[in-house]
Amino acid sequence: ALDFGVDTALKVLGIKKTNNGTSTGSTNFGSGEEISSYSPVDGALIAKVNTTTNADYEKVLIAATSAYATWRTKPAPQRGEIVRQFGDKLREYKEPLGKLVSYEMGKSYQEGLGEVQEMIDICDFAVGLSRQLHGLTMHSERPGHRMYEQYHPLGVVGIISAFNFPVAVWAWNTALAWICGDVCIWKPSEKTPLCGIACQNIAAEVLKANNLPEGISCLINGDYKVGELMTNDVRIPLISATGSTRMGKIVAQTVAGRLGKSLLELGGNNAIIVTPDADIKMTVIGAVFGAVGTAGQRCTSTRRLIIHESIYDKVKTAIVDAYKQLRIGNPLDEKNHVGPLIDTGAVAMYQKALEKVVAEGGKIIIEGGVLEGKGYESGCYVKPAIAEAENSFEIVQHETFAPILYLLKYKGDVTDAIAIQNGVAQGLSSAIMTNNLREAELFLSANGSDCGIANVNIGTSGAEIGGAFGGEKETGGGRESGSDAWKIYMRRQTNTINYTTELPLAQGIKFDL
């Protein structure tokens, strides 16, 4: 038996030794080969999940399509009511779900709870939005005509999510898609299939209580091949995919090939600029949490610190001191700051990155390494590392999903720092630490950060759900979550109505018969 109440959490969430990783209608099934979910916390096998075969997938599509036919006719505020109930259920299940996230993915329990909180928050946001799916009205150029636009549901939305936010990113998509009148098919990461099963069980409970078909929320499981069933499927008008840039390029091309829409949230290479006017204490908290939180496995994790030469040594010393306080270990134990990486494959990539930065001429100032011995049996625990490097290094240009922080030095003024910050292929999150108004405003201006997220006196990670989340360049350009991100989940229709007995043509064209 597992300690930390994980056993109880699994039971409450309806996770069995073997789970059906496919659900549709009122039945769960999945007849493909089993995948095993191992915990990076202690290396134990948690449970197995049957994957989705092509035949299973067809059944899911049929269930989703038929559910869509009724769901889209339900008034949006009534769909919001279902999402409200889903948010309430998440409040009930917050602790067990947070625990499962922590145990299956390896992030700290606090961050697991934080992830469920993001789900609850997006549900609340979506409920309000369900009465605000506004279109514009325009003045027609023709007399006796009225012109307006409306947003209609889009159809079946395919969601492909990553292991690092195994539940929240699904909720960002699904809560919005549901109030928009869409139904969802979700393929969670094959590294965190149990989080998918748990969320599906909670959604199914709410749908059942409301006599609604479970096809409104569908789950499929497996590796990229199962995802490809969706990206190739013309019956799915929108694919929302979160993951690596490599994956995103394939998804984008496949979906564009059939003129579908895609919403991509891909890699980041996020930096914090630290200017001579920075508050050092705030910088240390923001940078250290950004670099080692979730063991450096957030899209928004801080990868680069761009520090002015005049304060470089001071900042470096403060960060190095903070790293010495970090406790690495079981993420369910709240006194630890850093948990494991997702698997040993991720550990190998971390090690390779550290070798590479040295080979390219970087200098390690906080040693990395894989931890061994009691409590570290899974082989997934690594020491957060810091290297002094150059922005031009290949490894610095590359996103490594691990707790490695690169210190970069800038001379001159803040425009030099901004050039370094923008001098990577990715464009997700960015931050500046400064109390200088001119520097802050320049950073946020058209000449400033080229990222989708740009913060002042806050780190790069930990965005709130109320803003649009996503980034530019190789990050993929998509926006999820808050603001008007809902629009991509709907189709827009322009309506012109003539209430006269004449038929004047637009652009003044005369066509007499």
Q: How far apart are CA 477 and CA 468, in angstroms?
A: 11
Number of residues in the chain: 513
Closest to ligand UN1 by CB, 207 vs 271, is 271
Measured distance CA(77)–CA(163) in Å, rounded: 32
Q: How far is the CB of 509 from ligand UN1 (least distance, A)?
A: 51
CA distances from 164 to 111, 115, 243, 341, 386 (A): 11, 10, 9, 10, 22
Cβ pair 96, 12 in contact under 8 A: yes
Instruction: Please identify which residue in the block is written with the tokens 């494959």.
Output: 345
Interface with ligand UN1 (CB under 6 A):
118, 164-165, 169, 242, 298-300, 461-463
- In the chain, the amino acid numbered 307 is I
Minimum gap (Å) between residue 53 Cβ and ligand UN1: 29
Nearest by Cα to 418 from 438, 387, 442, 392: 442
The CB-side HSE value for 105 (13 A sphere, CA atoms) comes to 33
Question: Which one, 171 or 229, has the nearer CB to ligand UN1?
Answer: 171
Annotated catalytic residue, options 104, 118, 265, 439: 265
Catalytic site residue 334? no
For 435-483, the three-class secondary structure string (H helix, E strand, C coil) is: CCHHHHHHHHCCCCCCCCEEEECCCCCCCCCCCEECCEECCCCCCEECC
Residue (2 or 282) nearer to ligand UN1, CB:
282
Q: What is the DSSP letter of 413?
A: S
**Residue 436, amino acid:** N
Closest distance between ligand UN1 and the C-beta of residue 481, in Å? Answer: 8
**164 or 200, CB closer to ligand UN1?**
164
- CB of residue 452 to ligand UN1, shortest distance in Å: 11
Is residue 476 within 8 Å of 264, Cβ to Cβ?
yes
The distance of closest approach from Cβ of residue 82 to ligand UN1 in the complex, given in angstroms and rounded to an integer, is: 24
Nearer Cβ to ligand UN1 (111/233):
111
- Residues involved in catalysis: 265
